[in-house]
């Protein structure tokens, strides 16, 4: 059970990380609820084509459970996994803030065009 293992199976670009962050945040807020791919996609604002590989990677790394008959995923709280998730979310938040700060500095120096 490892978020790091799931992340290693996915591309490490900013768009994919944004989808991962949205899905993980959503699942953490809906602990122990069975959620379909369609529901996760709709409620996170991601396309199903973006959400499917993320959920499959999370399932393959035992971060979420998958129920075949109802085709639904469920996050169950685990203290070790929770620490990994908090670390991931903190890191992505810091990266987003860093990028926004750099863009703001660039605009201050060179103007918005």
In this predicted structure, what is the pLDDT of residue 59?
96
In this predicted structure, what is the pLDDT of residue 102?
76
In this predicted structure, what is the pLDDT of residue 113?
62
In this predicted structure, what is the pLDDT of residue 80?
92
CA atoms of 51 and 20, how far apart (whole Å): 8
Paired with 74 in beta bridges are 65
Does the pTM surpass 0.85? The reply is no
Q: What is the mean pLDDT of each run of 10 residues along the chain (113 residues)?
A: 90 91 96 96 95 96 94 95 93 75 78 68
In this predicted structure, what is the pLDDT of residue 75?
96
In this predicted structure, what is the pLDDT of residue 45?
95
Report which secondary-structure segment, H or E, holds 80. Answer: helix 79-110
């Amino acid at each position: 059970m490892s978020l790091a293992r799931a992340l290693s199976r996915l591309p490490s670009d900013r768009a994919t990380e944004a989808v991962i962050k949205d899905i993980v945040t959503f699942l953490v807020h809906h602990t122990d609820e069975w959620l379909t791919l369609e529901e996760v996609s709709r409620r996170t604002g991601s396309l199903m084509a973006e959400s499917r590989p993320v959920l499959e990677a999370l399932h393959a790394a035992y971060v979420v459970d998958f129920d075949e008959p109802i085709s639904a995923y469920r996050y169950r709280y685990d203290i070790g996994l929770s620490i990994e998730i908090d670390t991931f979310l903190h890191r992505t938040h810091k990266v987003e803030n860093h990028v926004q700060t750099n863009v703001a500095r660039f605009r201050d120096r060179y103007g918005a065009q």
